[in-house]
Amino acid sequence: VFFQLDGMAFAIWSRAKLAADSAVTDGGGWGGVTLAHNVRSPEEVDATLTDAAAAGARVTRAGAPTPWGGYSGVFIDPDGHPWEVAHNSAWPLDAAGLVTIGS
């Protein structure tokens, strides 16, 4: 379920499906939360994953086409938080980079 917030989106997923999508093992240490960052293109997804890895993150899912028609990848930051970096052409970003769901 997705909720439109002021320039952001909030989603509620099943814990098991989110763990699988984020390429993390839910062994009790994972908090059941993945942060997501939407970008303007598949190329920007790949560049963001490369930058994250250079800064010490571990890429757990390389950028690739998704079942929902977008493109995304996942990294774990140095503090252990999973981040999805996604391009979704159905969710445009405005000039400030704020997302609108399903436009």
Q: What pLDDT, on the 0 to 100 scale, is given for residue 3?
A: 74
3-state secondary structure of 51: helix
**The pLDDT of residue 30:** 64
| Pairing outcome for strands 9-11 and 58-65 | unpaired
The pLDDT of residue 98: 83
Q: At which residue do the structure tokens 């390429």 appear?
A: 23
d(CA 56, CA 49) in angstroms, rounded, equals 11
List, for residues 23-70, the tens digit of each pLDDT value: 777 666 667 778 888 999 999 999 999 999 999 999 999 999 999 899
Q: Considering the entire predicted model, what is its pTM?
A: 0.74
Give the separation between CA 70 and CA 37, rounded to whole angstroms.
Answer: 13
Instruction: Summarize the confidence of residues 9-23 as an average pLDDT.
Output: 79
Domain ranges, ordered by start, for the chain: 2-87
pLDDT the model gives residue 75: 94
pLDDT for 66 equals 94
Structure tokens at 7: 């320039």
Mean pLDDT score of the chain: 85
Task: Check if CATH label 3.10.180.10 holds for domain 2-87.
Answer: yes
Query: Do residues 88 and 44 lie in contact, with contact meaning Cβ atoms separated by under 8 Å?
Result: no
